[in-house]
Structure 1
Amino acid sequence: MSGGRFVFLDPDGTAGMWIHLVVEARTGVVYQQQYGGTACRQGQVEGFLVPMADEDALDALRELFEKDFRGAGTRNRAWSEPERSRLRRIIGGITYWACDRHSQEPHALQLDESRMHEADEAWIPVTTPDGPGMLVWYNSD
């Protein structure tokens, strides 16, 4: 993509605890994120950024990826059904407010299971009423 803008989310790791959703869209703005725990992968997604305020979900995601998966990343993991179900429940508990300029409606995010091979710490593919997205949060490394 030429002529666009790149925004590195929390490049020096000092922004504190945060969780965002990047809804994929042709905006000319690409968000870059370090993800994958100590694997320190770099991901990019074009779209618009939606700050999320869900401490419970963030705590649950951190427990799953940092404690249970030991913070080493999970890209291309063969997820067991209990693990997938747990991630599905966490993601489904996060509210996304869709707005059509006239009204706002809350919707639960959904894990995009067709892209599970991309799922990793701080990089979870989701679906929203506005299209596909990537749920990102500060990486534990």
Structure 2
Amino acid sequence: MTPRSFVFLDPDGTSAGGWLYAVVEAATGVVYQQQYGGTACRHGQVEGFLVPLFARAELDALRELFEKRFRGSGTWNHTWPDAERDRLRGIVGSIRYWVSDGTTDEPHPLRLDESRIREADEAWIPVITPMGPAVLMWHNSD
């Protein structure tokens, strides 16, 4: 068994907050940890590889949804009404995940992983990438 390494994203909460990552689930031996859920201060971890994403407008929209609509208090096990789920699905679907075959690069939209919607919370959204299941993460607001 390969020893595991743990990487806590923004461990002291002092980052500038402009980052957005997908951690694609894979047996890499590297486990990313994240505080999420706004003031609920939940802690999650996922093994895989980290992919930086560049989606400023979508990051702003996610922060608007979770920090203003949900007041930064987390949504763990939230029952998502259709309008809120549609909004989250639309934001996630606007984020591009670039895939390269070594010669060409192609953008693909992320998809909200609706089979894991009950896990969705501020700074922790289950998504599907072209490379498989992942967790979308950003700077937690608390």
TM range (shorter): over 0.9
Kindly report the root-mean-square deviation, in angstroms, between the aligned alpha carbons of the 2 structures: 1.1
> Greater shift after overlay, 35-44 or 94-103?
94-103
Matched, 1:130 2:131: yes
Question: Identity of aligned pairs, percent?
Answer: 67
SS across alignment from 2:33? strand
**Structure 2 equivalent of residue 55 of structure 1:** 56
Q: Secondary structure at the match of 1:77?
A: coil
The alpha-carbon deviation at position 101 of structure 1 amounts to 2.6
Using the size of structure 1 for normalisation, the TM-score is: 0.97
Post-superposition Cα deviations, 1:28-82, rounded to whole Å, max 9, x if no partner, equal: 1000000000000000000100111111011000000000011000010000000
The within-5 A match list for 1:32-43 is 32-43=33-44
The 3-state SS of whatever aligns with 2:141 is coil
Give me the whole-angstrom Cα distance separating, in 1, the residues matched to 2:103 and 2:131: 15
Gaps of 5+ in 1: none
Give the alignment of 1:12-31 within 5 angstroms: 12-17=12-17, 18-31=19-32
Instruction: State the secondary structure of the residue aligned to 1:78.
Output: coil
Q: Which runs of 5+ in 2 are unaligned?
A: none
Tell me how far apart the structure 2 counterparts of residues 19 and 102 of structure 1 sit (CA, whole Å).
25
2:81 — aligned with what? 80
Tell me which amino acid in the other structure corresponds to 2:52: P
Q: Which residue does the alignment assign to 1:69?
A: 70
Superposition misfits of 4+ residues, deviation over 2 angstroms:
100-103
Aligned pair count reads 141
Partner of 1:139: 140
